[in-house]
Structure 1
Amino acid sequence: MTAEVGAPVSLRPATPRWRETLGLLAHNPTAAVSALLLLALVLVAIFDETLAPQGPNEVDVAARLESPSGAHPFGTDDLGRDILSRVVLGTGVSLRVGFLAVGIALLIGTGIGLLAGFYGRWIDDALMRLMDMLFAFPAVLLAIAVLAVRGTGWGNTALAIGIVYIPVFARVTRASVLGVREEVYVRASRSVGASDWRLLTRHVLPNAAPPIIVQTSISLAFAVLAEAALSFLGLGTQPPDPSWGLMLAEGRGFIDLAWWLAFFPGMAIFLTVLCFNLLGDGLRDVLDPKQRTLMAGGGR
């Protein structure tokens, strides 16, 4: 059946890829709810001082170890400090460390993976053996070693976690680049004299980006968890800065008398890590070409 002569032709531009991605993500209920919750957490972190009923270290000895009530919805700790205020203010610390750590790992690890995957040969061997050396260290011990050299604090904690995750991003990027560098459009651009920089930035990296984006979401979850673990051990965020992991450590000795001291910061960690992981799963489905086609076609 042939098209009718003179039939109108649609001149509307194709939907931008990023807008189509957001639309597909919005149709994934789990990922959409997770993204909204994470957006709410980011807003809490930005406006934490405004939202917190009290300061993180306002002591009220007369109200120590009070159970959750109207005056203190999350209760108080052994010094009479409001748990809700400390959880709210700890959101900024945990997310700041998580985003900074993943930013460091993403920037350095992606650069290493691009070079190793694109050029191959001795560059690939040298860079990947260096990443293998970092992988040989247990993640927690490597972070502790960095903190032992640099000292404690949320900034050094972010640096330590970022160093731990550099090899992860390097390997993910390298594997993705290896599948892209021999594509027809890359070889065609190279044949017309395109520079390596143009090939990397215009062709290789954009098409290798989906696995890196998914890994970023998953790494943010583990970065928040790692910050809490290091702070719990006394090696991460230090007083007077509030931290979810530090609150767990402080409430450990009162777990039999005041369950709320560990419950609410623990739930904050749990929900944040869960949302990042669920968002990563949603991004994986949306950015995978086969899954993307099925979702765009209504699952048929």
Structure 2
Amino acid sequence: MTGAPVPEPGSSPDTPAGAPGTSPAATLRPARPRWQETLGLLARNPTAAIASLLLIAIVLIAIFDDTLAAEGPNDIDVAERLQSPSWEHPFGTDDLGRDILSRIILGASVSLRVGFLAVGFALVVGTLIGLLAGYYGRWVDDVLMRFMDMLFAFPAVLLAIAVLAVRGPGSGNTALAIGIVYTPIFARVTRASVLGVREEVYVRASRSVGASDWRILTRHILPNAAPPIIVQTSISLAFAVLAEAALSFLGLGTQPPNPSWGLMLAEGRSYIELAWWIAFFPGMAIFLTVLCFNLLGDGLRDVLDPRQRTQMSGSGAAVAADAGGEK
């Protein structure tokens, strides 16, 4: 014979679940997945949320550039050259009569593609090197990280120029050069995270039951070392776009007649006093994209940091409790 359920303190047996007087434990909802909680906390950060929306808009513009651009990137109309911003040409025209707004839209795909390819290369190679160095240590750590330190010792732009001097200019080689430059950064960030995770109890338990090194690295260490890597990815995307613009400005990146924000900036510097809009709008596109990536990285750093996350979750729970009390 089973006994009757014991009522919660402060409630009567006849009190329905969820009614006033029930304990908080009785009304708690199941915990949301971690990624949903992360997105929720990020959405409550107005700066990061606005930056995310702007980045989504920029990425969509880059994807649908051919549809959104009113003219082709190299549609020359000498009769319309150096026209100031107007309804027909919102961003004006350049010295060849090309529509600057269309070239900025089409240049978004070039600049972002180089940035994503470069950071993707650095993320994969640098994370792998950092995992191996941090997990195995000893001579593996010494060999891999001393090589990364050697690359890290070179100034970023000079190292990229050296790679392009060997490989030649172009968008693909620019992505490779920037990827090589940022590989040591990802390796150092990953190694530091792995060193803090590899001696945890769950890692030692997996090792004691005979789990392979690959399984331990991919199933236990990498997921728990991922937050700093995610933040570094967002910040590196900002600097990759900036580096691509700098190399294109120097004539080593994207080559004409392909549109690129850095190349457009270089083409407009000769007309800065006569036609300011030629250099101003590509510069604003670079500024806005880099700013949004940096703001998103700051928001991710706050959300993924355990202490900050606990404070944000606690404040959100308090606001929800106050709202429930007012009802």
Please indicate, yes or no, whether the TM-score normalized by the shorter chain is above 0.5: yes
Pairwise CA distance, 1:136: 1.6
1:179 aligns with 2:159: no
Secondary structure in 2 aligned to 1:176?
Answer: helix
Aligned to 1:141: 158
Aligned to 1:24: 41
Identity percentage of aligned residues: 82
Question: What TM-score does the superposition give when structure 2 sets the normalisation length?
Answer: 0.89
Pairwise CA distance, 1:4: 3.0
Secondary structure in 1 aligned to 2:274?
Answer: coil
* CA-based RMSD: 1.6
1:52 aligns with 2:69: yes
1:93 aligns with 2:97: no
Question: What TM-score does the superposition give when structure 1 sets the normalisation length?
Answer: 0.96
Aligned to 1:76: 93
Pairwise CA distance, 1:232: 0.2
2-structure distance, mates of 1:50, 1:250 = 25
Letter in 2 for 1:24: L
Pairwise CA distance, 1:253: 0.5
Secondary structure in 2 aligned to 1:72?
Answer: coil
Within-5 A mapping of 1:266-277? 266-277=283-294
Larger radius of gyration: 2
Aligned to 2:322: none
1:114 aligns with 2:131: yes
Aligned to 2:251: 234
Q: Pick from 283, 289, 299 the counterpart of residue 300 of structure 2.
A: 283
1:206 aligns with 2:223: yes
Secondary structure in 2 aligned to 1:298?
Answer: helix
| Structure 1, gaps ≥5 residues long | none
2-structure distance, mates of 1:78, 1:281 = 39
Secondary structure in 2 aligned to 1:76?
Answer: coil
Secondary structure in 1 aligned to 2:93?
Answer: coil
Aligned length: 299
Cα deviation, 1:37-94, whole Å, max 9, x if unaligned, reads: 0000000000001100100100010111010001100000000000000010000000
1-structure distance, mates of 2:39, 2:8 = 36
Aligned to 1:67: 84
Aligned to 2:213: 196
| Structure 2, gaps ≥5 residues long | 1-5, 18-25, 319-327
1-structure distance, mates of 2:288, 2:217 = 37
Aligned to 2:167: 150
2-structure distance, mates of 1:274, 1:4 = 52
Letter in 2 for 1:205: L
Secondary structure in 2 aligned to 1:148?
Answer: helix
Pairwise CA distance, 1:298: 1.1
Structure of greater relative contact order (alpha carbons < 8 Å, 6+ residues apart): 1
2-structure distance, mates of 1:10, 1:187 = 37
Letter in 2 for 1:102: V
1:4 aligns with 2:21: no
